[in-house]
Structure 1
Amino acid sequence: MDTLDKTDRRILEVLQENARLNTKEIAHRIGLSVTPTYERLKKIEKMGVIRNYVTLLHPEKIGKTLMAFCSVTLQLHSQPLLKKFEAAIGRMEEVMECYHVAGTFDYMLKVVVDDMRSYQQFLTNKLAAIENIAQVHSSFVMTEIKHTTAFGLV
């Protein structure tokens, strides 16, 4: 498999700052002409390094003012029950991220909702409705100190 060189990494850094840039703008920022930049970008995409191009929204500007991290412990850990839990979580729009973790809990969820009432409804009507949950511990975000989606590449 191909590896990423310094120029490829610079292309990725520029795209992480602004994915709306066209090839000409990327080329200008990295000091390369358009054709080699385009070819490198297509190679990077073909390698699967770029998962997707997205627009990041400011949660509060769209009414999502409450963020919680839920630590979930399951009662049983059979493969079918794990898959069933994961499928149910995948269908919940309030769950922005879900990780199967090692340690005290089985899963860590990042949940974003409008307010505390919305969270209570989510917890009662959706999360608690999933069979096999033993415990849920919620931690609420008071202040976001750092949030980034960009990986350091240099």
Structure 2
Amino acid sequence: MSKIDDIDKQILAFLHEDAYMSNKDMAQRLGMSPTPIHERIKRMEKDGVITGYKATINPNKLGKSLTVFCDISLKEHAAEYLKQFEEDVMNLSEVQECYCVSGHSDFLLKIVVADMDEYRDFILHKLASIKNIGNAQSHFVMNQIRNESILPWLNQEKTR
């Protein structure tokens, strides 16, 4: 694992907030020159700490206003069944995130659709076509309280 120091954490926080922030702007905020900032970013990319840069998109602005978390329990738990489910769910564009979880279910899906009609169609014609699903339980998002990626904890570590 790559050694990440406080400066790296600040760079990650800057990039998380604004992936377009220039090395020069980060360097000014950190009291450094741009070259070491660039070298640190390239090292973190090479080490897999930074895995890519993405635009954050508001699904509501694209007519996708219903978010559903769906617990999936499988009938059979042999490795080939788990792998097959993962492959099948990757082909469903409505599924934004998929996690293999412990507890009462096997997988947790984050599904984003336009409305209840589209979700019903998704359940009846797409999800139901995947073999080996024993149970699916839906949780409808009524209000998003916080939608923050994994980074906020980086800033908290400095205060511990």
Q: TM-score range by the shorter chain?
A: over 0.9
Q: Which runs of 5+ in 2 are unaligned?
A: 156-160
Distance 1:121 1:2 in 2: 45
For structure 1, list consecutive stretches of 5 or more residues without a partner in the other structure: none
CA distance in 2, matches of 1:119, 1:28: 48
Q: What amino acid does structure 2 have at the position aligned with 1:11?
A: I
Aligned to 1:93: 93
Corresponding residue number in structure 1 for 2:137: 137
Alpha carbons of 1:23 and 1:96: their partners in 2 closer, same or farther (altered >3 Å)? same
Distance change in 2, residues 1:2/1:75 (3 Å): closer
Q: So what's the TM-score if we normalise by structure 1?
A: 0.96
Which residue in the other structure is 1:153 paired with? 154
Q: 1:101 to 1:2 in 2, by over 3 A?
A: closer
- The Cα of 1:150 is off from its aligned counterpart by 4.2
| Deviations, residues 23-65 of structure 1 (Å, cap 9, x unaligned) | 2222223221111111111111111101110001011111111
Task: Look up the SS of the partner of 2:147 in the other structure.
Answer: coil
Q: Is the 8 A contact 1:69 1:111 kept in 2?
A: yes
Q: Distance in 1 between matches of 2:29 and 2:19?
A: 13
Provide, for residues 86-125 of structure 1, a one-character-per-residue CA deviation record: whole Å limited to 9, x for no partner. 0011111110111111111111100000111110111111
- The number of residue pairs the alignment matches comes to 154
Percent sequence identity is: 42
CA contact (8 A) 1:16 1:150 kept: no
Distance 1:68 1:31 in 2: 44
> In the aligned structure 2, how far is the partner of 1:37 from the partner of 1:139?
43
Counterpart CA distance in 2 for 1:150 and 1:136 is 27
Tell me the TM-score normalized by structure 2: 0.92
- Within-5 A mapping of 1:23-34: 23-34=23-34
- After superposition, the CA RMSD in angstroms is 1.1
Equivalent residue number for residue 38 of structure 1: 38
Contact 2:2 2:49 in 1 (8 A): no
